[in-house]
C-alpha cells in the first residue's frame, strides 16, 4: 500500500531533551516536507526536500533540523525542544514533474513539550 509513515503518533517530552520524528514513504517521491499545524494558524511548512541531500527552510524552521540521506526517509529533529513546539506535525510527499500531484500526508505526530 502506498503510504507515508510517521512515528511516533504521540510523544510527550520535557524541555531540552532531543527527539527525532521519523518519516518514511514508499512511493519513490522526490519531494518531501514537514508541516506543523496549530489552531487558527493552519498548516505551516517547517522544512522541505526536493531530493536526496537537498533540503531547505520553509516558513517556520527555527528550532528544527532535517536530513535526507535516502530518498524514502526524511526525519525531523528537535535538538532542544521547547513548549512552543507543542503541536501536531505532518510529513508529506509528492512526485516532482507532475503539476497536478497532490501532497500525500502521514498520519501525524502529536507532540507535547512540558
Q: Which of 63, 73, 88, 112 binds other proteins (CB under 8 A)?
A: 88
Grid coordinates 493552519 are at which residue?
42
Q: Is there a contact between 44 and 59 (Cβ–Cβ < 8 Å)? A: yes
Residue 1 engages other proteins in binding (rule: CB under 8 A): no
Residue 27 engages other proteins in binding (rule: CB under 8 A): no
Residue 90 engages other proteins in binding (rule: CB under 8 A): yes
Task: Kindly give the pairing relationship between strand 4-7 and strand 42-51.
Answer: unpaired
> In angstroms, how far is CA 75 from the centroid of its own chain?
7
From the list 11-19, 37-45, 60-68, 71-79, the region that binds other proteins by CB under 8 A is 37-45
Q: Is there a contact between 81 and 113 (Cβ–Cβ < 8 Å)? A: yes
Give whichever of 100 and 114 is closer to other proteins, judged by the CB atom: 100
Residue 105 engages other proteins in binding (rule: CB under 8 A): yes
Instruction: Give bridge partners of residue 105 from the DSSP assignment.
Output: 92
From the list 13-21, 34-42, 70-78, 79-87, the region that binds other proteins by CB under 8 A is 34-42
Euclidean distance between CA atoms 34 and 98, whole angstroms: 20
Binding site residues, other proteins, CB under 8 A: 31, 35, 40-45, 48, 50, 56, 88, 90, 99-100, 102-108, 110
Amino acid at each position: 500500500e502506498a503510504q507515508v509513515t510517521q512515528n511516533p503518533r504521540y510523544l510527550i517530552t520535557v524541555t531540552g531533551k532531543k527527539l527525532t520524528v521519523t518519516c518514511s514513504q514508499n512511493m519513490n517521491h522526490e519531494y518531501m516536507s514537514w508541516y506543523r499545524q496549530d489552531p487558527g494558524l493552519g498548516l505551516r511548512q517547517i522544512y522541505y526536500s526536493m531530493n536526496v541531500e537537498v533540503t531547505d527552510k520553509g516558513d517556520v524552521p527555527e528550532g528544527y533540523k532535517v536530513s535526507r540521506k535516502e530518498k524514502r526517509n526524511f526525519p525531523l529533529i528537535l535538538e532542544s525542544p521547547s513548549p512552543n513546539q507543542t503541536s501536531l506535525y505532518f510529513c508529506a510527499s509528492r512526485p516532482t514533474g507532475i503539476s497536478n500531484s497532490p501532497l500525500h500526508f502521514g498520519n501525524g505526530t502529536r507532540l507535547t513539550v512540558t
